[in-house]
Structure 1
Amino acid sequence: MDIVGQNQNNDQEAFYASLKDKLEQTHDFPEDYLYKFIVTNDQAKLTEIYRVFDGIKFTMTNRDSKNGKYTAISINAFVLDADQVIKIYKEVGLIEGVMML
């Protein structure tokens, strides 16, 4: 019998292991890495995302959707390795309502 939470954790672990392999094959770290997120147009959510990037050199652009309900965020951050890329994705993933692209 499978416990739902365990399957979800195993799926996430497999996803991030695969992502790490792909990142290491296609990127030459350290380098700038482009993150893209979509959030509801809520300043508190934007602030939470910015906090994840504290202490990291980055540039950011925002663009509101046509109806103003959502904000697309592009963050170009200097990262040292694939592990740091994944760590940031995991931290942003804890913020409710954020879609990661």
Structure 2
Amino acid sequence: IFMSDKKDFYLKLKGQLDETTSFPADYLYKFIVPTDGNQVKEVEELFNNTGAIIKTKKSKTGKYVSVSIVLKVLNSGIVISYYKKAEKIKGIISL
């Protein structure tokens, strides 16, 4: 994805969140990561010491792990900041 596309995506997401969510709120992040490295640990470390509830589930083939995180957030900017941190993790897919 090109940087301008990402910027547009985050602007659109922020607008949607501000319209539909009354903050503070519990926000559900869902990621899929390959199992060939430390990616699950990297995702978990992003949310260390935040009080987040993290659940993982391996795919049938065992090549991927889905990671679901529920985190209480104060505003849409915080939601997006975690997505931006997560996108640096190799092979991650945000759902």
Aligned counterparts, 1:25-40, within 5 A: 25-40=19-34
Which residue number corresponds to residue 84 of structure 1?
78
Identity of aligned residues (%): 38
Gaps (5+ residues) in structure 1?
1-7
Gaps (5+ residues) in structure 2?
none
* SS of residue matched to 2:54: strand
Which residue number corresponds to residue 97 of structure 1?
91
Work out the CA distance in 1 between the residues paired with 2:93 and 2:4: 21
Question: How many residues end up aligned between the 2 structures?
Answer: 95
Residue of 25, 43, 49 corresponding to 2:43: 49
- Is it true that 1:24 corresponds to 2:5 in the alignment? no
Work out the CA distance in 1 between the residues paired with 2:37 and 2:23: 32
Contact 2:46 2:82 in 1 (8 A): yes
Which residue number corresponds to residue 4 of structure 1?
none
Work out the CA distance in 1 between the residues paired with 2:40 and 2:78: 20
> Which protein has the bigger helix share?
1
Residue of 63, 72, 94 corresponding to 2:66: 72
Work out the CA distance in 1 between the residues paired with 2:35 and 2:6: 27
Work out the CA distance in 2 between the residues paired with 1:65 and 1:84: 29
Work out the CA distance in 2 between the residues paired with 1:9 and 1:64: 30
Superposed CA RMSD in Å reads 1.5
